[in-house]
Amino acid sequence: MSKLPYVDNVAVSIYGASGCEYSLSCEHDGARYHVWLDDKCNPVAAGVEPVPFLYKNPLHAVGREDENWFPTRRLGVHTAFGKSMWEAMFGAACINNLFNKAHEAEIAARERVARAETDLRRLSAKQKAGPALYDALKKLTDWARDFTSPRDPNSPHEILIEATAALEQAKAFLAASH
């Protein structure tokens, strides 16, 4: 077996809706290389069976105007160089458990999005219910002012005071949000 090239910044990311489509990339000798692995290819179970093509791109920091820029090149992985690059990239990704880490990061990101969507739905429901709750509490406090007494020990006067304070806060919030 020939010596594998040194690869740096090996990374795995997931793309697509299935969560099983991977992009494996690295940097080598002033260029960025990547391969696409779809859900038909279980990367870890596949071992080092090469995918058909390896893509060579300029580094991310290299712009089109830069003298080091070049268009994307599609390289076969059955050539000596292509195969050695594939083995180096894939080996580094497996050794560093990058496929599992990418999968875990994708799950965590999807969970964050789901939590944010749930929080947004809850907030929206509260905002929609706010005016009706305000009106109901206002009617209740108006009624309580007429039919309760601070001198009667069985009267919920403290609750009336708290409800009136809450109404004032809600009124200020509703005024500021419109």
pLDDT tens profile 9-18: 999 998 877 7
Residue-wise pLDDT tens digits, 54-90 = 899 998 888 899 998 999 898 888 888 988 998 899 8
Name the pLDDT band for 113 (thresholds 50, 70, 90).
Answer: very high
User: Is residue 112 situated within a structural domain?
Assistant: no
Q: Are residues 77 and 141 in the same domain?
A: no
Q: What is the mean pLDDT of residues 139-155?
A: 79
Number of H helices and E strands in the chain, helices first, is 3, 5
Lowest mean pLDDT across 1-5, 60-64, 127-131: 1-5
**Is residue 1 included in any domain, yes or no?**
no
Per the domain annotation, does 173 fall within a domain?
Answer: yes
- How many domains are there within the chain? 2
173: amino acid identity, one letter: F
CA 175 – CA 168 distance, rounded (Å): 11
Predicted confidence at residue 135, as pLDDT, reads 85
Same domain flag for 17 and 64: yes
Contact yes or no for 30/60 (Cβ under 8 A): no
- The SS3 call for residue 2 is coil
Is residue 80 located within the same domain as residue 16? Answer: yes
Q: Indicate the pLDDT class of residue 39, thresholds 50, 70 and 90.
A: low
Q: Is there a domain that residue 3 lies in? A: no
> Pick from 35, 62, 96: which residue ends a domain?
96
Element (H, E) at 28: strand 21-28
Q: Binning pLDDT at 50, 70 and 90, where does residue 26 land?
A: very high
Residues 38 and 80 in one domain: yes
Q: Say yes or no: 92 and 126 in one domain.
A: no
Indicate if 92 and 25 belong to the same structural domain.
Answer: yes
7 vs 91: CA distance, rounded Å = 10
119 — pLDDT class (breaks 50, 70, 90): very high
Supply the range of the domain harboring residue 173.
Answer: 122-177
Average pLDDT of every residue of the chain: 83
Report the predicted TM-score, pTM, of the whole model to 2 decimal places.
Answer: 0.63
Query: Taken in order 39, 41, 42, 43, is the CA torsion positive or negative?
Result: negative
In a domain, 107, yes or no: no
Domain membership flag for residue 57: yes
**Element spanning 54, H or E:** strand 53-58
Same domain, 26 and 91: yes
**Within-domain flag for 127:** yes
Q: Is the pLDDT of residue 105 over 70?
A: yes
Can you read off the two tokens belonging to residue 39?
């859900």
Contact 12, 20 (CB under 8 A): no
DSSP 8-state symbol, 46: T
- What pairs with residue 51 in β-bridges? none
| pLDDT band, residue 51 (cuts 50/70/90) | low
User: 165 and 131 share a domain?
Assistant: yes
Instruction: Verify that 82 and 149 share a domain, yes or no.
Output: no
Decide if 135 is inside a domain.
Answer: yes
Count other C-beta atoms under 10 Å from residue 88's C-beta.
20
d(CA 85, CA 90) in angstroms, rounded, equals 8
Q: Which residues of 65-81 are buried (b: 16+ CB within 10 A; e: fewer)?
A: eeeeeeeeeebebeeee
